[in-house]
């Protein structure tokens, strides 16, 4: 990681902006088959409807929880078109288009979708983005700011949140006191927390003159992992901002605003 940043509005060089281009591929081949006439596997139809991933859809099918045109279907190879009526738990599913929305989350908003006591939820910030039901990929705690991806693509969500997925997440950490070089080296090598060993993929001071600001790259999805790393070494995180997520950056995305991902960005996430 390099040390080129100033917090909100900074051009972080930790991420690779070449992954974040907004141009779409040109000269795509256009199919003459109507979308409604195409046959797709039932598990893909369910995943496209935003219910779950294809793998989880297979389990729903095997358990007999899916009906097609009024009949229970348990065959994993079953194919449907958008003209078919696919029902799950009494609700007809729609093979809606996949939507991908990137939010620069402000402080004070919770990521959970079903907390009845939460006054401010992140979903309220993207409620006008699309008609499709989208949900956050992973989570950021209430006091953490920065990048949060929303989608109805169950398969991609499963991929991005799986422990084996190692796309970088970079955080800008503001501490209550100066971070020592010895502790920086410890985090590089790894430390033992109450739920296991953890090591940063990369860590450095953001600026040479300020030892209270640290940039840390980590791919672990453990709950509050960044805050716990520094607390373990005797520091309090005053402010925490996720500046890079899976190659996506905050470039031209002010706090509290959102944008749709480009086709190129979506393709990058799916291929990684």
pLDDT digits (tens, 9 = 90+) for 130-154: 988 899 998 899 999 999 999 988 8
17, 84, 141, 195: which one is catalytic? 141
Average pLDDT over residues 245-252: 93
Q: How confident is the model at residue 227 (pLDDT cuts 50, 70, 90)?
A: very high
Measure the CA dihedral 56/57/63/67, to 10°.
Answer: 160
Output the pLDDT for position 217: 95
Asked if 118 and 141 touch (Cβ cutoff 8 Å), the reply is: no
- 78-127: pLDDT as tens digits: 999 878 999 999 988 877 788 999 999 999 999 987 777 778 999 999 99
In the sheet that holds 86-88, the strands lie side by side as 71-72, 66-68, 86-88, 91-93
Output the pLDDT for position 12: 46
Going along the chain from its start, the domains and CATH numbers come out as 36-93 (3.10.290.10), 99-271 (3.30.2350.10)
- 183-215: pLDDT as tens digits: 999 999 999 999 899 999 999 999 877 899 999
Residue 200 to residue 217: CA distance in whole angstroms: 6
Which residue(s) pair with 48 in the sheet? none
53 or 26: which carries more pLDDT confidence? 53
**Predicted TM-score (pTM) above 0.75:** no
Asked if 187 and 199 touch (Cβ cutoff 8 Å), the reply is: yes
**Where does 106-236 show beta strands of DSSP type E?**
135-136, 144-151, 169-175, 191-193, 196-198, 202-207, 210-218
Q: How confident is the model at residue 243 (pLDDT cuts 50, 70, 90)?
A: very high
**Where does 7-164 show beta strands of DSSP type E?**
40-41, 66-68, 71-72, 79-80, 86-88, 91-93, 100-105, 135-136, 144-151
Residue 15 to residue 9: CA distance in whole angstroms: 14
Residue 73 to residue 46: CA distance in whole angstroms: 13
Active site residue 241: no
Nearest residue to 160 via CA among 150, 145, 173: 150
- 15-38: pLDDT as tens digits: 333 333 333 333 333 333 344 467
Output the pLDDT for position 36: 47
Whole-number average pLDDT of the chain: 84
Output the pLDDT for position 132: 83
Q: Kindly tell me if the per-residue pLDDT of 249 is higher than 60.
A: yes
């Amino acid at each position: 990681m390099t040390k080129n940043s100033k917090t909100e509005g900074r051009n972080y060089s930790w991420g690779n902006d070449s992954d974040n281009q907004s141009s779409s591929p040109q000269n795509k081949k256009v199919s003459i088959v109507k979308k409604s006439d195409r046959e797709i596997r039932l598990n893909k139809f369910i995943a496209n409807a935003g219910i779950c991933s294809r793998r989880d859809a297979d389990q729903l099918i095997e358990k007999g929880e899916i009906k097609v045109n009024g009949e229970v279907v348990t065959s994993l190879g079953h194919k449907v078109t958008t003209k078919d009526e696919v029902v799950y738990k009494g609700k007809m599913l729609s093979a809606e288009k996949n939507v991908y929305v990137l939010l620069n989350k402000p402080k004070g908003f919770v990521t959970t979708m079903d907390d009845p006591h939460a006054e401010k939820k992140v979903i309220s910030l993207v409620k006008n983005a699309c008609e499709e039901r989208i949900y956050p990929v992973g989570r950021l705690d209430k006091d953490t700011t920065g990048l949060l991806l929303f989608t109805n693509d169950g398969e991609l969500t499963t991929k991005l949140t799986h422990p084996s997925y190692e796309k970088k997440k970079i955080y800008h950490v503001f501490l209550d006191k100066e971070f020592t070089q010895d502790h920086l080296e410890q985090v590089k090598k790894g430390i033992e927390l109450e739920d296991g060993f953890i090591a940063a993929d990369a860590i450095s001071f953001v600026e040479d003159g300020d030892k209270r600001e640290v940039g840390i790259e980590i791919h672990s999805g453990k709950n509050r992992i960044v805050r716990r790393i520094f607390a373990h070494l005797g520091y309090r995180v005053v402010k925490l901002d996720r500046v890079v997520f899976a190659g996506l950056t905050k470039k031209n995305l002010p706090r509290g605003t959102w944008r749709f991902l480009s086709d190129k960005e979506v393709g990058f996430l799916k291929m990684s």
